[in-house]
Amino acid sequence: MKLILLGPPGAGKGTQAQRLQESYGLVQLSTGDMLRAAVKAGTEVGKKAEAIMARGDLVPDEIVVGIIADRIEQPDCKAGYILDGFPRNVAQAEALDKMLAGKGTKLDAVVQLEVNDEILLGRIEGRAAQTEGGPRADDNAEALAKRLRVYHEQTAPLVAYYKQRGVLRGVDGMRDIDEVTRQIEGVLGLGEKKGKLA
C-alpha cells in the first residue's frame, strides 16, 4: 500500500505515519527527517538545504524528488510506504505520479489531516518548547508562520489535485491522536488487517 499523509506542519502527519508503520509494516518516508539527517551529516544535500529549511521555505524540487526516487527503490519499501511531507507542491506530485507510473504502480490513497490553523500554531509552539536538545531550527515563530504560508500557497492545491484523481480521503485531524488513527484506519479499510500488509 502506498499512501500520502497530507496536512500542514504540526497536523500530526509524523505521529500518524509512525503508528501506521508500527501496526502495518508500512515504511514512513519523511523528507523532513531525511533532510535534517543530511544537514546533520554535512552532506552536499544538507549544505544546500540547511538555510532554506531554517527560514521555512521549500528545498528545490529536484533535491527532494531525487531523495524519494532513491528511497522507494530500497527493499524495505516493497511492502508499501507512507509519504510524510512529500509531495509539497504540484510539480512534486506530478514527478511522483511519473515515478510510480514508470514502475507500473500508483498511489492507493492520500489521507488529508484536516486541522484548524490557530490551534495548530499552539501545537507547534508546544513542540518547540518540548523538543529535546533545543527546538528544531525551523520551530521559531517566524519560520513557523512562513511554513504555514508556504503550505497554503504551494501544498494546499494538492487537495484538489488528488480529489480530481479520486484518491483523496479526509479525516478530522483535530480529534485526539487515537481517534485520528481510528479514522485513518477506517478510510483505508484497514481495521482488521493489523500486521498483515507487510
- Give residues with Cβ within 8 angstroms of 61, minimum separation 6: 89, 91, 92, 95
CB nearer ligand AMP, residue 2 or residue 88: 88
Distance CA 37, CA 92 (A): 21
Distance CA 36, CA 63 (A): 13
* Residue 155 sits in the site that holds ligand AMP (CB under 6 A): no
- Give residues with Cβ within 8 angstroms of 6, minimum separation 6: 13, 110, 111, 112, 113, 155, 158, 159, 162
Query: Min. distance of Cβ 87 from ligand AMP in angstroms?
Result: 6
Catalytic residue flag (residue 127): yes
* Residue 12 sits in the site that holds ligand AMP (CB under 6 A): no
Query: Min. distance of Cβ 37 from ligand AMP in angstroms?
Result: 11
* Residue 53 sits in the site that holds ligand AMP (CB under 6 A): yes
Q: Which residues of this chain interact with ligand AMP, rule CB under 6 A?
A: 9, 31-32, 35, 52-53, 56-59, 64, 85-88, 92, 138, 147
| Residues catalogued as catalytic | 13, 88, 127, 136, 147
